[in-house]
Amino acid sequence: MGDRRAPQPLALVQELVNTYDVEEDRDTLDGPDGLADFVARHGLGPIGLTGTDLPTLRDLREALRAACLAHAGCDLPEATCRRLDALLAAAPLVLTVSAAGDARLRPAPGLTGSALFV
């Protein structure tokens, strides 16, 4: 996807997309160990991801890759848009407000596994 770094709020998205190296045909999310390494490397702690989350996480990764490519001028297939919408709908967000009045979107309470990535 290139050598440019994403802005900090999108760094994890970039790292997830880059778990598959297209040029080398190498997938670091190749199994539970690769998933555990990714989680540990990014300090995500115990978020309930297991090997059964791998297909969903890979699906999310590829949909995000397609969305990133669309920003570079490539077409984003309608089916990919629908798939990404479905993945995102599985992980609702809530608006929280701090004592200082700052508003933030956060994952809804109770989400675990791949839903936390979405």
In this prediction the pTM is: 0.81
**Nearest CA among 62, 65, 33, 64 for reference residue 49:** 33
pLDDT of the residue at 11: 86
User: Could you report the per-residue pLDDT of 32-72, keeping only the tens digit for each?
Assistant: 889 889 888 888 777 777 778 899 999 999 999 999 999 88
Residue 94 in 3-state DSSP? strand
For residue 17, the model assigns a pLDDT of 94
Residue type at position 22: V
Residue 99 banded pLDDT, cuts 50, 70, 90: very high
- Quick one: what percent of the chain has pLDDT higher than 70? 97
Q: How confident is the model at residue 3 (pLDDT cuts 50, 70, 90)?
A: low
Secondary structure (3-state) at 107 = strand
- Which ranges of the chain would DSSP assign to H, the alpha helix? 11-17, 32-41, 54-71, 78-89
- Mean pLDDT (the chain, rounded): 87
